[in-house]
Amino acid sequence: MGFENVIYTKKDRVAVISLNRPHKLNALNEPLLADFDAALKAAEEDRAVAVLTIQGEGRAFCAGYDVSGDENSDPAFDWRNKPMMYDLYTRERRRQDRIENLARFSKPTIAKIHGYCLEAGCSIVLACDFAVATEDARFGDPSVRMGMCTDLPLWYYVLGIKRAKELMLTGKIIDAAEAERIGLVTQTVPVDKIDEEVDKLVQVLLANPADALRNNREAFQAALEARGLSAGFRFAGDMRVFSVLQRPGSRPREFNFFERRDQKGLKAAFEDMNAPFKKLGY
C-alpha cells in the first residue's frame, strides 16, 4: 500500500508499519498520523495478517509529537495562534483513541525500537504487547520539562506508580537496560541482533493458534479496562489539555520552551531546556 509518511509492508502473515520521517527522527505530525491510522486499519482488517510490528526508519524509532510549530505540527505547540479548548479536546481525543485502539488491536503487536523513543514514541511502545529494543535505545518523556502533563495512563498501568512518577516528575531519559529493568521494554538486544530476535519472537507468535492469541489479548485488555484504564485515558487526556491551556513557561522566571524555539530554533530550545538537568547528570 502506498503511503508517504509510513512504509507499510506485508510478508508471510506479518505486517510492518515503519514510521518514515527519518530526517525528523520520525516525529509524529498530522500527515504521518493520517498514514499511520490508515495502515493500522489495513492491518486490522486484513485476515491474512497475524502479527503487527511497528518500527522507525533512519536513526530513531520516534521522537514524539512534532513540536516544531510548523503548519503540520501539533497545534497545541503553536502559541501564535492561541489554540482553542474545543480544538485541543478534539485533537487529544483523536490521539488517545489511536493509542487505545493500538492497545486493543486484534493481533499481537511488537514495537521494534532503536535510537530515540520519546514521549508519544513511548505511548506506542507501551500500547504494544512486546517491546524489543537495541542496547543504544533511549526512552523518556521530556515534554514534562516543557510544562506538559502526560496523557498516558499506561505509564502507571504498565510500570507501577513509583517508576511512572520518577519519569514524569523529572523528564529524564533512560537507556535500554534501565527501560528493561523497569518493565518498559520486554527485551534488550545488541544492535546487530535486533532483526534476528524480533523474527524469532514473530515465529513463536505465528506458531500459536490465532484464536488463542486473540482470546488472551482480549482477556488481558478486559482486565486492564476493569481496572479503570479507559477512564484513565480520558482523565489523563483532560489533564494534558489543562496543561496546554495553562500556557507552560508563563510563570515569571520559568523557562519558556516555545518562546525560545521561536527565537533560536527547535534544536537550541531543546538544548537550553535540558542544560540545567544535564549539569546534574539527568
Question: Applying CB under 8 A, does 48 fall inside the site for another protein?
Answer: no
Q: Which is nearer to another protein, 123 or 243 (CB)?
A: 243
Query: Minimal distance in Å, beta carbon 45 to another protein?
Result: 31
Question: What residues numbered 15-34 form the site for another protein, per CB under 8 A?
Answer: none
| Residues 127 and 146: beta-carbon distance below 8 Å | no
* Cβ at position 164, least distance to another protein in Å: 5
Among 10, 206, 239, 262, binds another protein (CB under 8 A): 239
User: Does 79 sit near another protein (CB under 8 A)?
Assistant: no
**For residue 56, what are the β-bridge partners?**
19
The smaller minimum CB distance to another protein, of residues 77 and 155, is found at: 155
Count residues near another protein (CB under 8 A).
46
In whole angstroms, what is the distance from residue 8 CA to residue 214 CA?
22
H-run or E-run covering 263: helix 257-264
Residue 190 found at the interface with another protein (CB under 8 A): no
If one asks whether residue 188 binds another protein (CB under 8 A), the answer comes out as no
Tell me the three cell numbers of residue 139: 526512552
Residue type for 142, please? P
Choose one: 2-10, 69-77, 211-219, 250-258; the region binding another protein (CB under 8 A). Answer: 250-258
Verify binding: residue 206, another protein, rule CB under 8 A: no
The answer to the question of residue 245 lying near another protein (CB under 8 A) is no
Cell of 83: 489554540
d(C-alpha 139, C-alpha 162), whole Å? 17
Nearest Cα neighbor of 141 from 53, 32, 243 is 243
Given the complex with another protein, which of 69 and 171 has the nearer CB atom?
Answer: 171
Among 85, 90, 242, 259, binds another protein (CB under 8 A): 242
For 25, residues 6+ apart whose C-beta sits below 8 A from its C-beta are: 56, 58, 59, 60, 62, 63, 115, 116
What residues numbered 131-170 form the site for another protein, per CB under 8 A?
A: 144-150, 153, 155-157, 159-166, 168-170
C-alpha 248/C-alpha 146 separation (Å) is: 6
Q: Does 200 bind another protein (CB under 8 A)?
A: no
Candidates 99, 115, 121; CA nearest to 224 is 99
Least Å distance, CB 119 to another protein, is 13
CB distance 25 to 116 below 8 Å: yes
CB of 171 to another protein, least distance (A): 7
Sheet of strand 6-11, all strands in order from the earlier edge strand to the far edge: 6-11, 14-19, 51-56, 109-113, 130-134, 187-189
Cβ proximity of 56 and 120 under 8 Å: no
Give residues in contact with another protein (CB under 8 A).
144-150, 153, 155-157, 159-166, 168-172, 182, 227-229, 231-232, 235-236, 239, 242-243, 246, 248-249, 251, 254-255, 276-277, 280-282
